[in-house]
Amino acid sequence: MNHLYYGDNLAVLRESIADETVDLIYLDPPFNSNASYNVLFKGPSGNESAAQIEAFDDTWSWNDTAEEAFGEVLRSGNGAAAEMLRAMRSFLGENDMMAYLAMMAVRLLELHRVLKPTGSLYLHCDPTASHYLKILLDAVFGPKNFKNEIDWKRTSTHSDAKTWSNNADCILFYAKSEKDFIWNTPREPHSAEYIKSKYGRDDNDGLGPYRLDNMTSPSPRPNMMYEWRGFPFPEKGWRYQRETMQRLDDEGRIWYPTTETGEFNTSRRPQLKRYLNEMEGGVMGDIWTDIPPLNSQAKERLGYPTQKPVALLERILSASSNPGDVVLDPFCGCGTTVHAAQKLDRQWIGIDVTHLAIGLIEKRLRDAFPKVEFTTHGVPQDISGARDMANRGRTDKNYYFEFEKWALSLINAQPGNLSKKGADKGIDGNVYFAKTSRAIVSVKAGDNVGVAMIRDLRGVIERERAEIGIFLTLTPPTKPMVAEAAAAGQHHEDGFDPVPRIQIVSVEDALSLRDRAVRLPARRDDTFKKAAREQDTKAQGKLEL
């Protein structure tokens, strides 16, 4: 049951996620990050492209949608949430923060609905809105179900004018029930100072350092009053029965005091050897400084500005879910949560509102887990679905831009200017190949394709000094278009067979052939950053998949 949904998470939750079917929810809803949420792509020399492709802006404003969300919370039947949101509006007014809180409140009600009685929710946020979100969560889950406010040190300290350096995020942990929720106590390793002071003994037998522990009983136990290897029994007896004592002795786990001549010193008592590698660390606290953020050189970094380390999600999933449990991330971004869930043998559901993010997650999962199985919902799976998406784009530009992103993903092309804040200059996408060569992609979703479009593309590649042009079309090309493309000649790359300079690729062919529908010499495989392949921890010896 691994599912990836493209769409508004509120609609997906209501239409596709049943009551009490999810064991753990993690969400990192965007607000006030001072950045568009982009995926960075590699440019022709392998570096990150200067052009960041806009996925969505985390800009919130009070509008009809926010007003509708506010009304839905008031009509939800959850009196506490309704009154809390009403009070917030009275205090904040109709501004960006209030719009964000209204949008979050209606979603938190749905997330509470789909969570099992034994489930938990972790909401990741920064200090800008964490205090408001905590009040909303108290209203939705109940104050008694608040468990922790975790502080994660996400970056090193830096210079801020007249403030303490803001270098931590807040993670709010709530359970659906006060006591009966999944919990696997997380522990942290002993500190070097603790090990040095407590585990100073080592017999150099390969078992490692150990400390000594008392073997006497805390209360009188008549059946434990026996002599052991010449040592008289303690006043209250030994802690272990004779059979257990013999086993510990056979395993070499008993330390015996000796005299200078090496004989047992029966005036003292034997003690138990407790080895460091068998002792659990202390219970982990709610201030996490041991998981560093992803720097520019991190192997798992995909270029998503708000990408979180897999280790952070592994810690949360390990503590609040078990293998086979269902994990949900309704703002899944670049897919760190579903990556961690797949790695830890959990089932997962991911939702995101941009096709660009969905495409990135699909590629990330298949790179990291070549045998992964999941179903993607909401994106075209066949030519009929492609036409439906294109038709919706005729009345809604957002759908048209999403169609372009989806079509480009079929041939593994880097989007060009999908924010549409300026003219695209005839460049919808790029594919880089060989060392510095470039193919420009033009995407057409309309019915009226003609030979003039091929001439336009030819002009674009000449203007841009690109080597190849790719005309990616939903409608089959006409014979004059094919002839015009052929007249453009071929591109020759040293050491490779020549390929057509203008190539017409139908969306239908791209659906079945993917990037093989395009003929390129020495195609590079780093147009998108590649996730490192994970090891199969179930296989003997952890063989790589």
27 and 124 part of one domain: yes
- What pLDDT is stored for residue 160 in this prediction? 64
- What pLDDT is stored for residue 271 in this prediction? 96
156 and 195 part of one domain: no
Within-domain flag for 371: yes
495 and 373 part of one domain: no
- What pLDDT is stored for residue 525 in this prediction? 54
324 and 417 part of one domain: no
Rounded distance between C-alpha atoms, residue 463 and residue 456, angstroms: 10
Within-domain flag for 486: yes
Mean pLDDT score of the chain: 86
Within-domain flag for 98: no
- What pLDDT is stored for residue 247 in this prediction? 95
Lowest mean pLDDT among 260-269, 394-403, 451-460: 394-403
pLDDT exceeding 70 applies to what percent of the chain?
A: 86
pLDDT exceeding 90 applies to what percent of the chain?
A: 59
Q: What is the mean pLDDT of residues 107-130?
A: 95
* DSSP structure class, residue 143: G
Contacts of 115 (CB under 8 A, 6+ apart): 20, 22, 23, 25, 121, 176
327 and 404 part of one domain: no
Better pLDDT: 536 or 161: 161
Q: Which token pair is 83?
A: 């009154």
Q: What is the mean pLDDT of residues 92-121?
A: 96
352 and 237 part of one domain: no
312 and 170 part of one domain: yes
Instruction: Tell which residue, 432, 392, 394, 390, has the closest CA to residue 411.
Output: 432
46 and 153 part of one domain: yes
Query: How many domains is the chain built from?
Result: 3
- What pLDDT is stored for residue 48 in this prediction? 45
Rounded distance between C-alpha atoms, residue 63 and residue 492, angstroms: 54
pTM score above 0.85? no
With a cut of 50, say whether residue 533 has pLDDT above it.
yes
Q: Please identify, among 361, 377, 393, the residue that sits at the C-terminal boundary of a domain.
A: 377
Buried b (16+ CB within 10 A) or exposed e, 84-96: bbeebbeeeeeee
Better pLDDT: 216 or 354: 216
427 in Cβ contact with 418 (< 8 Å): no
Could you tell me whether strands 502-506 and 468-473 are parallel, antiparallel, or unpaired per DSSP bridges? parallel
Handedness of CA 90, 95, 101, 102 (dihedral sign): positive
- What pLDDT is stored for residue 53 in this prediction? 36
Q: What is the CATH number of the domain that holds 28?
A: 3.40.50.150
- What pLDDT is stored for residue 415 in this prediction? 85
Candidate ranges 417-426, 496-505, 531-540; pick with highest mean pLDDT:
496-505
With a cut of 60, say whether residue 49 has pLDDT above it.
no
Q: What is the mean pLDDT of residues 394-401?
A: 71
443 and 420 part of one domain: yes
- What pLDDT is stored for residue 130 in this prediction? 93
Q: Please identify, among 243, 278, 313, the residue that sits at the C-terminal boundary of a domain.
A: 278
Q: What is the mean pLDDT of residues 520-537?
A: 68
Lowest mean pLDDT among 54-68, 183-197, 513-527: 54-68
Residue 301: pLDDT band by 50, 70, 90 thresholds? low
- What pLDDT is stored for residue 32 in this prediction? 53
Rounded distance between C-alpha atoms, residue 425 and residue 417, angstroms: 9
With a cut of 60, say whether residue 542 has pLDDT above it.
no
487 and 360 part of one domain: no
Better pLDDT: 528 or 70: 70
Please give the single-letter amino acid code of residue 361.
I
Better pLDDT: 196 or 472: 472
Better pLDDT: 188 or 369: 369
Q: Please identify, among 323, 346, 377, the residue that sits at the C-terminal boundary of a domain.
A: 377
431: enclosing H helix or E strand: strand 429-433
Contacts of 413 (CB under 8 A, 6+ apart): 429, 430, 431, 441, 470, 527
Q: What is the mean pLDDT of residues 122-126?
A: 93
Residue 296: pLDDT band by 50, 70, 90 thresholds? low
Instruction: Tell which residue, 406, 450, 409, has the closest CA to residue 431.
Output: 409
Within-domain flag for 50: yes
What domain range includes position 203?
Answer: 190-278
Residue 299: pLDDT band by 50, 70, 90 thresholds? low
- What pLDDT is stored for residue 541 in this prediction? 36
Within-domain flag for 440: yes
Q: Per residue in 221-250, pLDDT tens?
A: 888 999 999 999 999 999 999 999 999 999
Within-domain flag for 90: no
Q: What is the CATH number of the domain that holds 424?
A: 3.40.1350.10
Within-domain flag for 160: yes
Better pLDDT: 102 or 221: 102
Query: Within 13 A of 65's CA, how many CA atoms are on the CB side?
Result: 10
Q: What is the mean pLDDT of residues 441-462?
A: 94
Q: Which token pair is 383?
A: 């030519």
236 and 331 part of one domain: no
Rounded distance between C-alpha atoms, residue 150 and residue 86, angstroms: 28
316 and 460 part of one domain: no
Within-domain flag for 436: yes
